[in-house]
Structure 1
Amino acid sequence: MELFTAIEQRRAVKHFHSGEQMSERDFQKMMEAVLLSPTSYNIQHWRFVRVSNAEVREQVGEAAWGQPQVTEASELLVLCADTQAWAKQPERYWQNVDAKAQGVLVDMLASFYHGKDQLQRDEAMRSCGMAAQTLMLAAKGLGYDTCPMIGFDAGQLAEVINLPQDHVIGMIIAIGKAAKPAGVRGGQLAMHQVLMQNYFV
């Protein structure tokens, strides 16, 4: 599918054909695209929990207040991020550059994030957001629909997936074939309401 068509047609689908399966080939292709998403200092904070076990799906569904797309979707991913990834073997993020450049980048990274808890969390969530958009567009390009979800009890979901203490949950994304089309767009703000020239007026 052409990129701008995928952007236009990507919608949050609430009901999926439960009998439809995403091929492993398509899943891998989608995830390979996701791993090309940008991150600050190439930290690649994101961690993806693929929920394939039916019992675990039910538990996630309970944490998501019974929303049907959790159990109906072909694939269910919990997008998480490691807030401390910046400090964990940071040289691996620049393993393909020369040692001098790697040293400079690692030092810069440490200086930028050290002692800044809010920035660490914000950066992890930004990384989740960029990965999520790549994932949804890649899925649409492969002929699948998606539903990004923030409607869940974060503490309960963290227990279900055994989330490490230094990680955060960005969102859940359900993936599959739509059983019902998305509703009409609620209404887009006009360009002049959201695009400023140089500064706010």
Structure 2
Amino acid sequence: METLKAIEARRSVKSYDPDHQMTDEEVNQLLSYTLLSPTAFNIQHWRFVVVKDRELRQKIREASWNQAQVTDASLLVVICADMKSWQKDPMRYWQNAPEPVQQALVPMILSFYKNEEQLERDEAQRSCGMAAQTMMLVAKDMGYDTCPMDGFDFEKVAELINLPEDFLISMFVVVGKPIRPANERGGQLSLDEVLIYDRFE
């Protein structure tokens, strides 16, 4: 599927075939392409928790106000971020770059985020958002539908997946074969309403 067609066709689907299973090869393909998403300083904050355990998925569904797609979709991905990833051997993010690039960027990473907790969090969320969008478009190209989710008890899910300290949960993305198409788009704002040139009035 062409990129523009995937963007146009991607919709948030709520009803999935609970009997359909994605192959390991499909999951690896989906996640491998997701890793190509952009991220600030190439830090790649994201961590993808693929929940396979059926009992755990049921508990996560209960923490998600019993939304059926949590258990019925073929794949449940909890997209998390390591907010301290900038501290963790940042040279590896630029290991393939020319030495002058490494010498410029790696110290910049350390100075940019030091003592900037809000920036850490904001950057992590931005990175996860871009990864989620890539994941959903790749899934659509592969013939699957998706639904991004933030309708769940973040603290409870963090407890269920044993989320490490200094990590956050950004969102879920569920992936699967739909049994019912998405509803018509509820109402798209016009370009005139959302486009601002140069500055707000």
Q: Same fold (TM over 0.5)?
A: yes
3-state SS of paired residue (1:163): coil
C-alpha displacement of 1:184: 1.3
Q: Does 1:116 align with 2:116?
A: yes
Map 1:183-194; keep pairs closer than 5 Å: 183-194=183-194
User: For 2:47, what is the secondary structure of its paired residue?
Assistant: strand
Task: Single out whichever of 2-11 and 115-124 deviates more from structure 2.
Answer: 2-11
User: Where does residue 133 of structure 1 map in the other structure?
Assistant: 133
Aligned-residue RMSD, C-alpha:
0.9
Q: Percent identity?
A: 53
2 and 98 in structure 1: CA distance in 2 versus 1, 3 angstrom threshold: closer
Look up the match of 2:44. 44
Aligned residue number for residue 142 of structure 1: 142
Alignment partners' CA distance in 2, 1:191 and 1:100: 42
CA distance in 1, matches of 2:42, 2:68: 35
Counterpart residue number, 2:176: 176
1:133 deviates by: 0.1
Q: Which amino acid aligns with 1:152?
A: F
Provide, for residues 77-116 of structure 1, a one-character-per-residue CA deviation record: whole Å limited to 9, x for no partner: 0000000001111111011123343122111111111000
- Alignment partners' CA distance in 2, 1:98 and 1:106: 12
The range that moved more, 136-145 or 62-71, is 62-71
Give runs of aligned pairs for residues 81-100 of structure 1, distance below 5 A: 81-100=81-100
Q: Partner letter of residue 22 of structure 1? A: M
- TM-score after normalising by structure 2: 0.98
CA distance in 1, matches of 2:123, 2:98: 26
Unmatched segments (≥5 aa) in structure 2: none
Q: Which amino acid aligns with 1:192?
A: D
Q: SS at the partner of 1:58?
A: helix
Moved more, 125-134 or 13-22: 13-22
- 2:158 and 2:10 map into 1 onto residues whose CA distance is 28
SS at match of 1:76: strand
Q: State the AA in 1 paired with 2:152.
A: F
What secondary structure sits across from 2:49 in the alignment?
Answer: strand
Q: For the residues of structure 2 that align with 1:147 and 1:110, how far apart are their CA atoms?
A: 35
1:67 match: secondary structure: coil
Match of 2:197, SS state, is coil
Instruction: Render the CA deviation track for 1:1-21: whole Å, top value 9, x for unaligned.
Output: 111111111111111011111
> How many residue pairs get matched?
201
